[in-house]
Amino acid sequence: MITAFLAGCVVETAGPEPAPIDPAQAIEQRVSLARQYIGAGDWDNAKRNLELAAAIDSDNADVLEAFALVYQSTGEFELAEYNFREALDAGAGSRARNNYAAFLYAQGRYLEAAAVFREVTTDTLYSGRPRAFVNLGLALLQTQETADAKSAFSRALLMEPRNSTALLELTQIELTEGDVAAASGYYERYRTGTRGQTARALILGVEIARLNGDANMEASNMLALRNLYAETPIYKAWTAAQREQR
C-alpha cells in the first residue's frame, strides 16, 4: 500500500472576480441616501454623500439638484440657485424645475416662480402636475393675476378633485368676488373632504354661513375656531377686524 504525503502542497481555489461598480448605480445610491438625510435635516451627511456622487460625475443633474436643496435649506441661496440652474442645464426634469420654482417663490420672486411653474404644468407626464397647477395659482395670486390664478386652481381640480388647497383658494376668490353660491360650493367640497379644517377655512365658513343665514354652521365654526385656534395670529387678527367693523 502506497501512502502519499501531501502536507507540503497548497491547493488554491480562485474565487469569483469582484463585480465592477456601475457608476450610474453608485450615484443613484448616494443621491438616494442624501435625500434621506435631507429629509432628516442632516446636512453634513447629505453633503458627504453628494460629494462622493459628484466625485463620480460632477455634472449629474440629480446630484446638482440635491445640492441645491441642501443649500436652500441651509440658507446659502446663491449656491442653491446656481445648482438649480446647473441641474436644469444638465437635463433635470420637471421635479427639479418644480423645486426651483418653489425656491423662487420662497424668495418672493413671484413673477419668475409663476413662469417656471407654468413650464412645469406643460409636462403632461409629470406625476406632480396637479400640485404644479396649485403652485402656479398661488404665485399668480401674489402677482394680482386673479383670473389666471382661478383658472390654474380649476385645472388642478380637474385632475385632483379633492385638492384642499385649490378648493380653499377658490372659496376665497369667489367670496371676494361676491359669488356666495360658488364660494359655498367650493367650501362644502373642501369641508367634506378634509378631516380637520384650518383656521382660515373655519373663518371662511363663518363668513359664508353669515351670508347664507345659516346660524348653525356659523355657531359650529365659531366654536371650533375658539377651541382650536384662539391663540393663533390669524384668529386674533380676524376677531380684531370684526370688532372694528361693528
pLDDT of residue 21: 72
Per residue in 40-58, pLDDT (tens digit) is: 999 999 999 999 999 999 9
Length, in residues, of the chain = 246
Q: What domain range is 30 assigned to?
A: 25-92
Q: Among 63, 70, 71, 25, which residue's Cα sits nearest to residue 46?
A: 70
Per residue in 116-134, pLDDT (tens digit) is: 999 999 999 999 999 999 9
pLDDT of residue 18: 52
Domain boundary among 56, 75, 92: 92
Whether 143 is in a domain gets the answer no
pLDDT of residue 244: 80
Whether 235 is in a domain gets the answer yes
Per residue in 192-208, pLDDT (tens digit) is: 998 889 999 999 999 99
Residue 131: count other Cβ atoms within 10 Å of its Cβ. 21
Listed as own residue / partner, the contacts of 28-36 with beta carbons closer than 8 Å and 24 or more positions apart are: 28/62, 30/56, 30/63, 31/60, 31/62, 31/63, 31/66, 34/66, 34/70, 35/66, 35/69
More confident: 93 or 14: 93
Whether 213 is in a domain gets the answer yes
What percent of the chain is predicted at pLDDT more than 90? 85
Domain boundary among 42, 68, 92: 92
* CATH number for the domain that contains residue 80: 1.25.40.10
Cα 24 to Cα 30, 57, 60, 183, 234: the distances in Å are 10, 9, 9, 51, 49
Mean of pLDDT values over 215-222: 95
What are 220's three cell numbers? 359650529
Cα 48 to Cα 22, 66, 72, 90, 220: the distances in Å are 20, 12, 16, 21, 52
Whether 43 is in a domain gets the answer yes
Q: Please state, in angstroms and rounded to a whole number, the distance separating the CA atoms of residues 234 and 200.
A: 7
**144-180 burial string, b = 16+ CB within 10 Å, else e?**
ebeebbbebbebbbeebeebbbbbbbbbbbbbeeeee
- The total number of structural domains that make up the chain: 2
Domain boundary among 41, 58, 92: 92
pLDDT of residue 103: 98
Is the CB of residue 156 less than 8 Å from the CB of residue 133? yes
